[in-house]
Amino acid sequence: MNLLLVNAISAILSLVSIGIVVVALRKAAEMIRLGRSMAEQIATSSANLERALAALQVEHDDLRDENKKLDARLEESAKARRDIARSVDLMERIRTELRGDIRGLRTAMSSRDTAGPATVPQPPLPASAPGISPTPAKPPKLPVFVRRTVASASVLDSANTYS
């Protein structure tokens, strides 16, 4: 009977071990299935992250290009602003010089009218030290088109125009 009892206990233990193996295999199959779904989710997430990174890089490149364009526009506008300021300064200087010329011409015309037609006023010569010949007057720094206009204009015509 000992042998029968040992065989019965052995059979029961074999059935229990087979049951444990079956349960373990089911749990392992579930773990493998969960692992595969997790791997798929991780792959999907990493693909989405790569797409987002690519989109951000494209946006970064676009912004860098726009930044360069804006910097170039700022430089151009600063240059234009400096040119405009220079032009305004030049126009102011020309305006003050022309006002002075017109006033001098008016006074010359009024003195000519009182002195007679034969006298033409000469511009005053700069005072120089004795023994040193006066240096020729430097032409004003006016643009070429202004000098041409002034050179070609008649003094009498200009005086009559501004009177």
DSSP string, 73-102: HHHHHHHHHHHHHHHHHHHHHHHHHHHHHH
pLDDT one digit per residue (tens) for the chain, 163 residues: 788 999 999 999 999 999 999 999 999 999 999 999 999 999 999 999 999 999 999 999 999 999 999 999 999 999 999 999 999 999 999 988 888 777 777 777 777 666 555 444 455 544 444 444 445 555 556 555 555 554 444 554 444 455 4
List all residues 6 or more positions away from 104 whose beta carbon is below 8 Å from its beta carbon.
123
| H/E element, 50 | helix 2-115
Q: Please answer whether residues 94 and 142 qualify as being in contact, where contact means their C-beta atoms are separated by less than 8 angstroms.
A: yes
* Report field, pTM of the whole predicted structure over 0.75: no
Longest dimension (CA), the chain: 166
